[in-house]
Amino acid sequence: MERVMSTPESRNRRQLAAAIKSLRSMVAEEATNQFLVLHPDWIARYGDRARQFGIEDAGYHQDFLAAAIMSGEPQAFQEYAEWAARMLMARGIEPRFLAENFEQIGEALRKRLTPPQVEIVDSYIRPGAERCLARDAKAVPEPSSQLVQLTRMYTEAATGGNRHAALALVLEAVRQGHPVIDLYADVLQPAMYRIGHLWEENQITVAQEHMATAITQFVIAQLYPLIELPQNPSEKIVITGVPGEFHQVGANMVADALEASGWDVRFLGTDTPSKGVLDAVEEHEARILGISATMLFNVPQVIRLAEQVREKTGDRISIIVGGAAFRLAPGLCEEIGAKGYALDLRSAIRLVNGLVLTGN
C-alpha cells in the first residue's frame, strides 16, 4: 500500500508546525502587545480595534508560517509575505510594519521552542521579513487568450454587481461558438484571479470580491446545462474540498470540465466532513479522489483526508490535489503521496486523463 512519505525531517516539521499552532494565541497576543508598545499611535488611530486586529493578523501569520514549515517550503511563506505586504500597502500600511510584526512573532516563538526548532523558524521568518521590504510584488499576468477583452468586461460586470450583464457576456460568447469549457478556462478563471488581485490592491472591497465570486458561481450554474456531456461516462471521480476550505469556484469548474471530457463526477463542494468524503468515494466507486485547497493552512486537513482514504481503500483510489496551496508548495504533492497536482483547469484535465492512460 502506498503511504505518505514519513522521514525524520518531515516528522520534525510536523511537530514544529503543531507546536506553533498550540502557541498561536499566546504568541499572537505577546507580539501584538510588543508592537503596540512601540507604536502607541496605532491605538490613537484605530482605537480598540488596533489590538483586536493585531491579534487576528498575528494569528493568521502563524497559520501560514506553520503550514509552510510543515510543507518544507520556505518559498511558500515568502510568497505569503509578499502578498500580505502588497495587500497592506494598498491600504496605506507600510511593509516595514509587517516585517516588524514577523520578527516579533519570531521573538515570541524563540522563547518557547527548542534551539533546533528556533533555527528552522528563523529560516522562514527572516526571509519572509526581507521579502516584505523588497517590494518586488509581481503583477498578475493578463490572460493570453483571444478572450482578453471579454475577461475585462466580465470582471467589470461582476465587481459592479451586475450578474445579468456578466451572464449575458458569456452567453453571447457561447452563441458565437466558444465552447463552455474554454470560457471557464479563458474567461472565468483569469477573471477570478484578476478580482482577487483587485482586492489585494484595495481597488475593490471584500464585499465586492464576495459578490463577484457569487456572481461567477451563478454564471457557472447557468453555463453547466449548455455543456455537451458524453452519454456513457465510464471512469469515476470524486472532487472535494476539506473541512475549513471555503473556496469552491475553481474545483466546481474542474468538476464540470471533467464531466465534459467523459468522467462520471461527484462534486462535493467545500468544507466537506471527511466521513462524507469517504462515504462518497465508496458509494460512487470512484477511481480517483481530487482534493482542493486554496489556503496553505488547510493542507493538514488534506493530509489527514488522504491518510483516511488510504486506510479505508488501500491502493484502489488514486489521489490528486489542486488549488493555490499547492502552487505555493508543489513539494507537498509527493509528501502527501498524491499522483500529481493541478495548477489550473486545463492541467487538471490533463492530469486526470493521463492517470487513465498510464494505468495509475
The pLDDT assigned to 360 comes to 61
| 264 φ/ψ angles, rounded to the nearest 5 degrees | -90, 105
The pLDDT assigned to 141 comes to 46
If we measure between CA atoms, which residue out of 256, 270, 262, 284 comes closest to residue 345?
Answer: 256
The yes-or-no verdict on residue 313 having pLDDT over 50 is yes
Nine-digit cell at 284? Answer: 460512487
pLDDT digits (tens, 9 = 90+) for 229-265: 888 877 899 999 988 888 889 999 999 999 998 899 9
Nine-digit cell at 258? Answer: 471533467
The pLDDT assigned to 336 comes to 83
Give the residue with greater pLDDT, 294 vs 140: 294
Nine-digit cell at 237? Answer: 471521480
The pLDDT mean for the chain works out to: 88
pLDDT digits (tens, 9 = 90+) for 159-216: 999 999 999 999 989 988 889 999 999 999 999 999 998 998 899 999 999 999 999 9
Task: Quote the CA–CA distance of 8 and 74 in Å, as a whole number.
Answer: 18
Contact 358, 341 (CB under 8 A): no
Exposure b/e, 146-161, CB count within 10 A at least 16 = b: ebeebbbbbbebbbee
The yes-or-no verdict on residue 139 having pLDDT over 60 is no
Instruction: Tell me what the mean pLDDT of segment 270-290 comes to.
Output: 93
Largest Cα–Cα separation, the chain = 67
If we measure between CA atoms, which residue out of 228, 337, 267, 237 comes closest to residue 3?
Answer: 337
The pLDDT assigned to 325 comes to 84
CA 151 to chain centre: 22
Alpha helices in the chain (DSSP H): 8-22, 24-38, 41-46, 49-71, 74-89, 95-110, 115-134, 148-159, 163-175, 180-183, 189-200, 206-223, 249-260, 274-284, 299-313, 324-328, 332-336, 345-358
The pLDDT assigned to 43 comes to 84
CA atoms within 13 A on the CB side of 249: 23
| Range scoring the smallest mean pLDDT among 53-57, 86-90, 219-223, 326-330 | 326-330
Contact 308, 293 (CB under 8 A): no
Taking the CA atoms of the chain, what radius of gyration do you get in angstroms?
22
Which domains does the chain show, CATH number per domain?
A: 8-134 (1.10.490.20), 148-226 (1.10.1240.10), 236-358 (3.40.50.280)
What count of other Cβ atoms lies within 10 Å of the Cβ of residue 56?
13
The residues that bridge with 289 in the sheet, in sequence order, are: 238, 319
Angle, helices 189-200/148-159, rounded to nearest 10 degrees: 50
Task: Quote the CA–CA distance of 318 and 227 in Å, as a whole number.
Answer: 26
Structure confidence at residue 42 as a pLDDT band (50, 70, 90) = confident
Contact 190, 151 (CB under 8 A): yes
The pLDDT assigned to 147 comes to 78
Which pairs with CB-CB distance under 8 Å and at least 24 residues apart come from 98-101? 98/129, 98/132, 99/129, 99/130, 99/132, 99/133, 100/35, 100/38, 100/129, 101/31, 101/35, 101/54, 101/57, 101/58, 101/61
DSSP strand pairing (288-292 vs 340-342)? unpaired
Contact 309, 279 (CB under 8 A): no
If we measure between CA atoms, which residue out of 242, 236, 269, 237 comes closest to residue 253?
Answer: 269
pLDDT digits (tens, 9 = 90+) for 70-127: 888 888 899 889 888 988 888 888 899 999 999 999 999 999 999 999 999 999 999 9
Contact 158, 195 (CB under 8 A): yes
What count of other Cβ atoms lies within 10 Å of the Cβ of residue 334?
12
The pLDDT assigned to 6 comes to 59
